[in-house]
Amino acid sequence: MTEFQETFRSAVPPWECDIVEHFTVAYYYEKFRAAGDRALLGLGVLAKEARTTSCYTRYKKELRAGDTYRIVSAPIRATGGDTGGGWGGGLTIGHKLIDMEEDVVAATTEQTFALDSPVSLDGYAEWDGEAREARPAVGDAATWVPAATDVVLPKDVDAAGRLTLDAMVHRFTAAGGHLLNAIGWTSSHMRDNRVGYSTFEFQMTLGALPWVGVPLDTESTIGAIGRSSMRMVHRMIRADTGDMVAELSQFGVHLDMNARRPSSIPTEIAEAARALAGE
């Protein structure tokens, strides 16, 4: 059985925290991207020879400024078949982000790659991450909110010249702010009431990744609404071709920032969210 190997180790600086005062999701993805590259190198694969096609992340314990952590990674499954020179097709790397103070898993990610060439595998690591739940598609009656408009910048691309995971998530985070504002979950609501939106799940699917200069549009809507939880759905589209770049299902809660616990979504915000979802 393949063992998990350390692929990243660092600490959370204050500038990588968000309005909810904890490690923001885009920086998780910056570190998971680096961990994925290190894991691939351990298998003899250069990062530019593999393209991420999907990610499934569960955020289990929040990290705050000053917290130290490490990531351990290993191959957990593959698709395709034996090419005679190795395994070709898709490869999923499992990442565990571990809070060093308490020595507990704070987040897990399943990062699936499409490979340009076969990879030799000695086996897979046992994976104990939470099973992915099927989330229903957004209904036809939902209203999509324009949530991000920009262009791919040189700082947004990897060694292969493609838009990075963390650059996407930074855009989706901004898109979430516009979507929340559209239902009355505004920045002033969060500041005045010491509440925020705290993410506990990502399900992201990627298409062909764009390069520097490509214009991007992102639109967002509500996928589900509960007493304290809400699922946002974002889709990023190439403005020049209309091709899908990525779609993200983002599940989170209305967080009481003082108690650091979920709290009830105000009735007027919940009603606005249901209207946007077409319920």
Percent of the chain with pLDDT over 70: 96
CB 225 within 8 A of CB 270: yes
pLDDT for residue 87? 46
As a whole number, the mean pLDDT across the chain is 94
**Taking CA 204 as the corner, what is the angle to CA 202 and CA 210, rounded to the nearest 5 degrees?**
140
pLDDT for residue 262? 97
Q: Which of 115-129, 228-242, 254-268 has the lowest mean pLDDT?
A: 115-129
- Give the mean model confidence (pLDDT) for residues 218-246: 97
- Give the mean model confidence (pLDDT) for residues 110-136: 89
Burial of 102: CB neighbours in 10 Å, binned 0-12, 13-18, 19+: exposed
* Predicted TM-score (pTM) of this structure: 0.94
- Give the mean model confidence (pLDDT) for residues 137-146: 95
Q: Residue 33: enclosing H or E segment and its boundaries? A: helix 25-42
pLDDT for residue 46? 86
pLDDT for residue 74 is more than 60: yes
Query: What's the rounded Cα separation, in Å, for the pair 106 and 111?
Result: 16
- With cut-offs at 50, 70 and 90, classify the pLDDT of residue 116: confident
CB 64 within 8 A of CB 21: yes
Query: What's the rounded Cα separation, in Å, for the pair 230 and 224?
Result: 6
